[in-house]
Amino acid sequence: MYSFDGDLFLNEEEFKEFDSYFKPQSVALIGVSKKNDYFWLQNFVLAGFLGKVFPINPKGPNAAYGIPFYKSILDISEPIDYAVITVPAPRVPQVLKECIEKKAKLVTIFTSGFSETGKNECTLLENKLISILNNQKNNPPLRVIGPNCMGIYCPESKVSFRQDLSLRVGNIGFIAQSGGLAQNLAYKLKDLGIGISKFISYGNQIDLTCTDFLEYLTHDKKTKIICAYIEGVRKKDSPRFFKILREASLKKPVILWKGGVTDAGAKAAFTHTGALSGSIDIWNAAVKQAGIIKVNNFREFVNCIITFKHYKPSNLALNNINKDVVLLSISGGSSVTNTDDVMKVGLNVPKFSPETIKKIEDIMIYTIGVNSTNPLDLAYDFFNFSGIKNIFDVLIDLPISSIIFEISLQYIYFPRLDFFGVESMKDIYYQNLFKNLSRLKKAGKLVAVAVIDVCYPHERVDDTKLFLKKFPAYGSVEDAARALKYLIDYTHFLEKHQESNKKLGD
């Protein structure tokens, strides 16, 4: 562990050392073989890693992908920045000793079969690794991620733990106790076209911990949003973890998904990474106090990332953010159920004043099946292009923070588009809607689009991606409301912190 000498944060030298872990110039892949289809070698070669790659296996082959193999890391004459150990668990201690002798900087132990199994002999084997690290003489010491993890993924330096992950550079940082969830999120962000700064799958935490990576990402200027999936924090690390968690949330949004919140989940967490979850009540209280965006599942995780990508809290007028929402849809039934969903997540759907209702009624062409208060049931006025613009003109002046517009594809993709007199109705409608929603967003409203999951599944995927270019888009109004609630709560946390600082300054 780093010695902080009582200081909470990494100093400049320590940060540079940590940052270099994500920019290796040379990589040793220990245990690569034909049996595993040269998995780790493919990950680096096919991702386009520009540094030197040294595959290692004492039993050969001589070469693969045109790259020669070595019998041991000690046979390599050049310095090694990063090594991935994939040999069977009983062989890991010896290989780790060789990495120390080689003076490698960082090792990921991909191999599983340690304390996460719950078996005494496997825990003893993990303790042996810890002893080897503690007794090393290297300065700086070799650092270890794992065991039982995927390690690091950094598109900027083309370091990857899967060959088919995106190389789109972005500002999302992710620390995950689970390698599988790290991959899931990486694939989902690839699908959404969202770039990544650094991902870390850290496993059993015998050396580098989630706290270390949280601290690093807090300082990393290339990471604007921190995401974390955590099953448990080492007991001795808990005070430092929660201190850094709060400091991190004051600098940038921290979206956290806690695994093992039930008794059965906690047992599963222990057998997964050997993590001790601790009291969930204490955890929830500490996380809430720290201003963390605490999500409950993968869908919320992704929806929050989408929301914070589009709305940076530092750019919002914090004093103007409230929990009031305007809902717009084409259906009266949807208006009712959407209101229920929005209220259940903790937002409000306030009724319009008589003056506002009169303005909207004067705008609407149709009088049958419409509702001119909040929620707005537009019925056929859903396709009233000039009416939508005029309605939005009214909404801009209301002291309501959020607008959720529901898209029902069964009306957009009507069987006969020329029913409305135009063959490309969808394109024209979307162009008009984009223009008017953009005006609301520019005026400071939190605009969200719900492309509801009812029909036209292929078109829904394409249209959602189309909206995502300019607005946060979700699969339901409830998803939109919940994600906006997380954003609003976080902005209120920042606002309270600013007020506290002002009082202290006074």
DSSP for 90-113 reads: GGHHHHHHHHHHHT-SEEEE----
Mean pLDDT, rounded, for 239-246: 92
Residue 503 scores a pLDDT above 50:
yes
Q: What is the pLDDT of residue 410?
A: 76
Distance in angstroms (rounded) separating the CA atoms of residues 28 and 31: 10
- The CB-side HSE value for 264 (13 A sphere, CA atoms) comes to 0
What confidence score (pLDDT) does residue 270 get? 44
Cα–Cα dist 94/110, whole Å = 15
CA-based radius of gyration for the chain: 26
Output the six-digit token pair for 180.
């599988």
pLDDT at 421: 53
Between 366 and 407, the higher pLDDT residue: 407
pLDDT at 6: 39
CA 306 from chain centre, in angstroms, equals 9
Lowest mean pLDDT among 69-78, 298-307, 450-459: 450-459
Instruction: Return the pLDDT at 286.
Output: 87
Spatial neighbors of 34 by CB under 8 A, at least 6 apart, are 61, 64
Q: Is the pLDDT of residue 69 over 90?
A: yes
pLDDT reading at 247 higher than 50: yes
pLDDT value at 413 more than 90:
no
pLDDT computed for residue 364 by the predictor: 79
Computed from CA positions of residues 462, 465, 471, 473, in that sequence, does the dihedral angle turn out positive or negative? Answer: positive
pLDDT value for 275? 46
Work out the pLDDT band at 1, boundaries 50, 70, 90: very low
For 25-57, write each residue's pLDDT tens digit.
999 999 999 998 999 999 999 999 989 999 999
Position 456 scores a pLDDT of 80
Structure tokens at 25: 């110039």
**pLDDT value, residue 127:** 97
Q: Is 328 left (phi over 0), alpha (psi -120 to 50) or beta?
A: beta
Looking at residue 498, its pLDDT comes to 78
Full-prediction pTM beyond 0.95?
Answer: no
What percent of the chain is helix, strand and coil (3-state, nearest 5)? 50, 15, 35
Q: What is the pLDDT of residue 361?
A: 87
Give the pLDDT confidence score for residue 74 in this predicted structure. Answer: 98
pLDDT in tens, 349-382: 999 999 999 998 888 776 655 677 899 887 777 7
Average pLDDT over residues 68-81: 97
How far is it, in rounded angstroms, from Cα 92 to Cα 144?
Answer: 12
Mean pLDDT of the chain: 88
Residue 241 host element (H or E): helix 238-251
pLDDT at res. 504: 46
pLDDT at 425: 72
Q: How far is CA 317 from CA 306, 322, 439, 440, 495, in A?
A: 20, 11, 16, 14, 10
CATH numbers and ranges of domains, the chain = 12-145 (3.40.50.720), 151-310 (3.40.50.261), 314-494 (3.40.50.261)
| pLDDT for the residue numbered 205 | 94
Share of the chain above pLDDT 90, in %: 69
Residue 223 scores a pLDDT above 90: yes
Give the start-end residues of each E strand in 41-109: 52-56, 63-64, 67-68, 82-85, 106-109
d(CA 94, CA 107) in angstroms, rounded, equals 13
Report the C-alpha gap between 422 and 441 in whole angstroms.
28
Partnered with residue 153 across adjacent β-strands are 199
Pick the range with the lowest mean pLDDT from 154-163, 198-207, 328-337.
Answer: 328-337
Question: What's the pLDDT at 332?
Answer: 64
User: Is 61 in contact with 146 (CB distance < 8 Å)?
Assistant: no
DSSP 191-240: HHT--EEEEEE-TT-SSS-HHHHHHHHHH-TT-SEEEEEES---GGGHHH
Query: Is residue 61 reached through a cis peptide bond, with omega within 30 degrees of 0 on the bond before it?
Result: yes
411 and 389 in contact (C-beta within 8 Å)? no
